[in-house]
Amino acid sequence: MVISDRRFGAVVITAHGRELTFDSYECYRAYFAKSNPPAVRETWVVDASAPGTLIPLAAARFEYDGLHPPMGSAVSYAR
C-alpha cells in the first residue's frame, strides 16, 4: 500500500524482513487483528507533527485531534 498522506501511516518489518506499509495506524490495527498475523520485528508510525518521519510505535503517543486520516478515523500520532 502507498502512504497517500505523509501525516499518517505505519510500517511493519516482519520477523522474515518483509516490509508491510499501511495508509494509517487504523489499517495496521485491522490487519493485525486477523487470526494469523505474521511475527513482527519492528513497527513504526508516522509522527503527525513531522510529516514523513517515522518513529517507533513504542515511542508514539496517540491523540484524537481532528485530523482526518485517509481511511476515515480520527487518530494521529505525536511524540
Q: Is 28 among the domain residues?
A: yes
Q: Is 4 among the domain residues?
A: no
CA angle, 31 as apex, 61 and 39 as ends, to 5°?
A: 85
Q: Is 56 among the domain residues?
A: yes
Number of domain units in the chain = 1
For the record, the C-alpha cell of 50 comes out as: 513531522
Q: Is 65 among the domain residues?
A: yes
Identify the domain containing residue 63 by its residue range: 10-78
Say yes or no to pLDDT of 65 above 70: no
pLDDT tens, position by position, 1-43: 556 677 788 999 999 999 999 888 888 888 888 878 889 999 9
Q: Is 1 among the domain residues?
A: no
8 Å CB contact between 34 and 47 = no
8 Å CB contact between 20 and 63 = no
pTM: 0.77
Q: Which residue has the higher pLDDT, 53 or 8?
A: 53
Q: Is 3 among the domain residues?
A: no
Once rounded to an integer, what is the mean pLDDT over residues 54-67?
A: 81
Split at pLDDT 50, 70, 90, the class of 54 is very high
